[in-house]
Structure 1
Amino acid sequence: MAYNTLEDFFGDIVGKARRGLGLTEATLADATGLSAVDIGRIEAYELTPDEGRILALAGALQLDGKKLIGIANGWVPERGNSPHDDVRLSVERTILDAGMEVNAYALKCKTTGEGAIVDAGGQANRILALAERMGLEVTHVLLTHGHGDHVGALAEIAETTGARVCCCERDFGLLGSLKELVTDPVDDGWQTKVGRIAIDAVSLPGHTAGGIGYGADGVFFSGDALFAGSMGGALGPAYNGQIRAVTNKALSRDEKTRVFPGHGPTTSIGEELANNPFFAH
């Protein structure tokens, strides 16, 4: 399976920003010269306004206007379906059906053959098949957050592999009984090694209270905190907090770093700085 579009379309981005800021359709309409009906049509993918109206929407929604126009015009990242492979590590993706399309990843230390599964949303057989195809000895399961579409296969993966399960305690309420499987509570600054690959964790709260991003040499797993051209939904203070956290802890990484999100195509830090309307460059 492969992605041909972004996870979020123009209308999704408008809706996420509007809800995140706590604006009604009527309030946004008043600020942009559009009608509330037009706002609804935009969010339902029925209307893409002209560039002048897009700039007005961007101003009212605290988004980058040029980047929002780029999204409306169909921007996609250059290597959205490409795995990562260098002398030290490799990363491959499988797209799962967990009620929606969701990504799971396998990271491999090429020196030792040890590796990690990043998120386990469902279809454990497909995740395990990916690990087997890569010749992976799974030592860790790294959870970016506790939503069901990211942990639905956790029990089977943990039982089959015997891997350490890593997750932030602030998302234990979302895990329910699955929290008993967590061996390593994760928070900002947490570190581990997968084989000889150093992994660092950063806290990216907003979409969930315990959202975590995991970084290794040249790669970053952003969960639902950051998508290609967008981000996972959040409301009120959590919305602005997520933007700050991603800006300070994810987008501050080397621009060549490849970003593997929870949903949608793979991207890079440089591409997000240049094209994601939620984040200023």
Structure 2
Amino acid sequence: MTLDGTRSYVLRAPGAPGCVVVDPGPLLEPHLAALADAGPVELVLVTHRHADHTGGLARFRELTGAPSRGALPEFSRSGGADGAAVEPLADGEVLAVAGLRIEVLATPGHTADSVCFAVSDGLSSAVLTGDTVLGRGTTVLAEPDGSLRDYLGSLDRLAPLDVQGLPGHGPVIPDLGAAVRAYREHRLERLGQVRSALSSLGAELPDAGAPLPDSLLDAVTGAVYTDVDRSVLVAARSSVRAQLEYLRHE
């Protein structure tokens, strides 16, 4: 599910004394200590709530004393992963920290709280994509709030950005815009396969608001995702749910 692991990023402009850490990752003490040693850490940002990106957040805050921000609704309601306040991020907000300009881009779809960060030091630019765009393969539309409609909208927002992409998993993306356009084509191709599977199965979607039967989810997943390893079929099933929700709201 995480390919070769979760990427944490340490960002600073040349010559800046402090840094920003994006996605401290899971609770792995050697990893968190290495990130802290790259400090002083002025700010911690998170791309979305999943534990492979935020599991070590509370401990990292203990190590660095740095504030953290993210579009993390469950953290904001509870006062933060470690009981301290987590200030929410706003779409379009621009942060000036560690000599950098960091713009917040709301990109829901993988989860409802997914964001990307457009980073510039005045000379070069990149976009940190979290799990919205991966360095290899495609992302899952995760339950319970993954949405294909939102995801396609997020891809449309990122498509014009012909800069380097720094993903939460996998290698660096040389041309983010080109990768996003390929992602969108792949999603629409999968959606066509789901439509064909429904037709072949003679299945009808229940009305909006009614639960999707497990038997239908399993049958469509088996018919469409014949090219994925069995270890990721649970993720594929989650994406099928999002695709079926999209179709029955069309």
Partner of 1:221: 128
Q: Which structure ranks higher in relative contact order (CA pairs < 8 Å, sequence separation ≥ 6)?
A: 1
Q: Is the 8 A contact 1:146 1:175 kept in 2?
A: no
Task: Please say if 1:146 is aligned against 2:49.
Answer: yes
Partner of 1:125: 30
TM-aligned CA distance change 1:196 to 1:176, over 3 Å? closer
Task: Please show how residues 250-261 of structure 1 align to structure 2 within 5 Å.
Answer: 250-253=158-161, 255=162, 257-261=163-167
User: RMSD in angstroms over aligned alpha carbons?
Assistant: 3.0
Q: Is the 8 A contact 2:58 2:82 kept in 1?
A: no
TM-aligned CA distance change 1:137 to 1:279, over 3 Å? farther
Aligned-pair identity (%): 24
Q: Deviations over 1:148-193 (max 9, x none)?
A: 1111111111111111201114353898961733432112112211
Q: Work out the CA distance in 2 between the residues paired with 1:238 and 1:112.
A: 39
Task: List, as ranges, runs of 4+ consecutive aligned residues in structure 1 with deviation greater than 6 Å.
Answer: 173-176
* Gaps in structure 1 of 5+ consecutive residues: 1-5, 9-94, 96-100
TM-aligned CA distance change 1:206 to 1:173, over 3 Å? farther
Task: Please show how residues 55-204 of structure 1 align to structure 2 within 5 Å.
Answer: 101-122=5-26, 123-132=28-37, 135-172=38-75, 178=81, 180-204=83-107
Q: Deviations over 1:7-38 (max 9, x none)?
A: 77xxxxxxxxxxxxxxxxxxxxxxxxxxxxxx
Residue 272 (structure 1) shift: 0.8
Q: Work out the CA distance in 2 between the residues paired with 1:175 and 1:260.
A: 30
Partner of 1:241: 150
TM-aligned CA distance change 1:176 to 1:232, over 3 Å? farther
SS in 2 for 1:102: coil
Partner of 1:69: none
Residue 271 (structure 1) shift: 4.2
SS in 1 for 2:48: coil
SS in 2 for 1:109: coil
Q: Work out the CA distance in 2 between the residues paired with 1:270 and 1:242.
A: 15
TM-score (norm 1): 0.56
Higher strand proportion: 1
Q: Deviations over 1:50-82 (max 9, x none)?
A: xxxxxxxxxxxxxxxxxxxxxxxxxxxxxxxxx
TM-score (norm 2): 0.62
Q: Work out the CA distance in 1 between the residues paired with 2:78 and 2:25.
A: 12
Q: Work out the CA distance in 1 between the residues paired with 2:166 and 2:16.
A: 23
Q: Work out the CA distance in 1 between the residues paired with 2:74 and 2:186.
A: 24
TM-aligned CA distance change 1:279 to 1:182, over 3 Å? farther
Q: Deviations over 1:106-131 (max 9, x none)?
A: 11222322111110222242243145
Q: Work out the CA distance in 2 between the residues paired with 1:185 and 1:239.
A: 24
